[in-house]
Amino acid sequence: METPNRAYKAHVLVLPYPAQGHINPMLQFSKRLVSRGVKATLANSVYISKSMHKDPISTIDIDTFSDGHDVGGYDSAESPEAYLTKLRDVGSQTLASLIEKFDGLGRPVDALIYDGFLPWALDVANEFGILGVVFFTQTCAVNSIYYHVHEGLLSLPLSPDSTILLPGLPPLEPCETPSSVYTYGLYPSFIDLVNQFCNVDKADWVLFSTFYVLEEEVVDWMSKLWRVRTIGPTLPSMYLDQQLKDDTDYGINLFKPHSTVCMNWLNAKPSGSVVYVSFGSMAEVEPEQMEEIAWGLNQSNYNFLWVVRATEEAKLPNNFINDTAEKGLVVTWSPQLEVLAHESIGCFVTHCGFNSILEALSLGVPMVGVPYWSDQATNAKFMEDVWGIGIRAKMDDKGIVRREVLEACMKEMIEGEKKNEVKMNAMKWKKLAKEAVGDGGSSDKNIDEFVAELA
């Protein structure tokens, strides 16, 4: 047991929303803090903690709180609204108990870094008189949209022919806003997204997993409201600045990756010849869309590596895996960073989750965007029109990307007229991402400033 005379500068408790895409960036930020002499404890839900595959040599301590669904997690709840309500009610109590436990062990918590999806955590921090630090895992642009809705500055429902004009953002069509804004009313739990801002004015720090030059204008605008700092990209250090020598992986996976199979397969493929396809840890692709993707990949004649989670495999066309075995590999999960960093990858077909975009951007990989819901349409807009690192695949009137469209997009990224322009932009952003977290970069300085206040 450690004594109250601690060898570390401070102790932070890090509370992500219980999902892979939220855990990863907060875990990586924690590693940056540890490298600066701060003790970091990541608090996962009991269910997530039981389910995860953890790196045994991680520098981050892991503890648990309860979301009220210790056995089945999110999937065992009656509805998204029921889950979020219990997460708030039970989570508040068990989070307070966890902080009290550390006090009793002589390891008091100096700051609570909590996911923006969990604004109730700030009340717990205030109860104990510790710093409350909100951490947003989505872009500043997306959160600006949510903020304007919360403040009544962007009225819903949106007019179909309107143009959304917000400070620091390019003009947006309604369909380029988050799905819960564009299709207002279809997502009853939407109120919880905009309620991220119910008490943000009381937070001591407002952190974003983006980096400054990526969203400069909207960051400057937000900085007039709150104490905003960008601390990303939140990737393992060895893929960026290489300051943390053993940081080669996130260290926590909710799905076990087929690392050896994937890398051996990629090693046998020519440079730039492979289309990598992954839609993240949560997207549930419609069967019709799954079939269109399958046949788009097949008729493209490109080599492809496709991540299809075990729960989605039944949607694949009959015998597809066997029929395409000569040019394709289908796995239930991949080591995505290793894959994207491999020289054989020509482009990345992605759902445009922000973590995936940051990974591809930081590794210089062109993208084909197939967004589904949440923040993904907005991310895809920026990916194509602002950052110039890929193209969006157009959907038909049924919301389906047809095989011919997907095939044309992949061809454009691998051998088309836009290939060189997009690749040049991708390499530019790769350099800027590395500079941001490197010694003296914007994110590096912001993290130093944060640690100085903790100490």
The residues carrying an active-site annotation are 22, 115
Distance CA 229, CA 211 (A): 9
Query: Which one, of 94, 97, 143, 141, lies nearest residue 116 by Cα?
Result: 143
Nearby residues of 286 by Cβ (< 8 Å), 6 or more positions away: 400
CB 212 within 8 A of CB 441: no
The owner of tokens 């005379």 is 5
Alpha helix segments (H runs only) across 54-153: 80-104, 120-128, 140-150
CB 318 within 8 A of CB 295: no
Structure tokens at 272: 């730039």
Q: What is the DSSP letter of 313?
A: G
Nearby residues of 340 by Cβ (< 8 Å), 6 or more positions away: 276, 348, 359, 360, 363, 365
Query: Which one, of 423, 414, 427, 388, lies nearest residue 271 by Cα?
Result: 414
The CA–CA distances, whole Å, from 286 to 138, 255, 332, 411 equal: 24, 21, 17, 24
Main-chain phi, psi angles of 306, to 5 degrees: -120, 125
CB 419 within 8 A of CB 366: yes
